[in-house]
Amino acid sequence: MVRVIMLSPPGAGKGTHSRWLTLQTGAAHISSGDLLRAEVARGSDLGREVAAYTDRGDLVPDELIFRILAPAVVAAARDTGGYVLDGFPRTMPQALRAAQFGADLALTSNAVIYLTAPEEELVSRLLDRAGRDGRADDTLSVVKHRLAVFAKETAPLVEYYRGRGILLELSTDRPELEVQADLLDWLEARGLIPAVGVSPERAGPAPGLSC
């Protein structure tokens, strides 16, 4: 079963392509952003700590994020055998800690999908989403700050995962079906999903996946 990390700047399509990939593989979609927002919405002490960072567009500290994400990853592996991890890790310390966590539990990621798009396109998408979905955290100043944080903190992960030989870099500044076709081809070539020759329009989990 695939154990995939989706890595990208805000607005490049992590959520869209993560959800699509779960339909192709049957792996669980774990969105760090969704989990964090749910914790904030619950109004728990942990949620209030998280909100203090996300309201500014800053990264949530490692200890907080692991307290929320680690149980979700373990549950996903137990229930589906794999995962599509959307939005985590975002820093090198998180990546190294996640790698150790995965090694300890035999849940090491076997693919990292790095989605890219020009900055002006990312800003446009995020502002459009703010108007459409009422996302209060997607103001212009916060969007620009989040992109700057990504460039500083998260971009170095690209070379780390490329060095591990598990990175696929894809531009999303093109039709979604083209991105998805390239993604399927790469996963099939690595033996992570069966090479069944089905187009990206397919909508159901691929049968017969093995670890």
CB 49 within 8 A of CB 34: no
pLDDT tier at 129, thresholds 50, 70, 90 = confident
Q: Give all strands of the β-sheet with 28-31 in edge-to-edge order.
A: 28-31, 83-86, 3-7, 111-116, 167-171
Q: What is the per-residue pLDDT across 25-54, written as a single tens digit (0 to 9) for each? A: 999 999 988 999 999 999 999 999 999 988
The DSSP code for 29 is E
115 contacts: CB under 8 Å, gap ≥ 6: 6, 7, 8, 12, 13, 14, 17, 170, 171, 172, 179
Inform me whether the pLDDT recorded for 210 exceeds 60: no
The DSSP code for 39 is H
State pTM to two decimals: 0.81
User: What percent of the chain lies above the pLDDT cut of 90?
Assistant: 57
Low-confidence winner among 73-87, 108-122, 126-140, 145-159 (lowest mean pLDDT): 126-140
DSSP string, 2-22: -EEEEE--TTSSHHHHHHHHH
Q: What is the per-residue pLDDT across 101-112, written as a single tens digit (0 to 9) for each? A: 889 988 899 999
pLDDT of residue 196: 55
Low-confidence winner among 25-39, 51-65, 162-176, 192-206 (lowest mean pLDDT): 192-206
Q: Which fold has domain 3-189?
A: Rossmann fold (3.40.50)
Q: Where are the domains of the chain?
A: 3-189
Inform me whether the pLDDT recorded for 204 exceeds 50: no
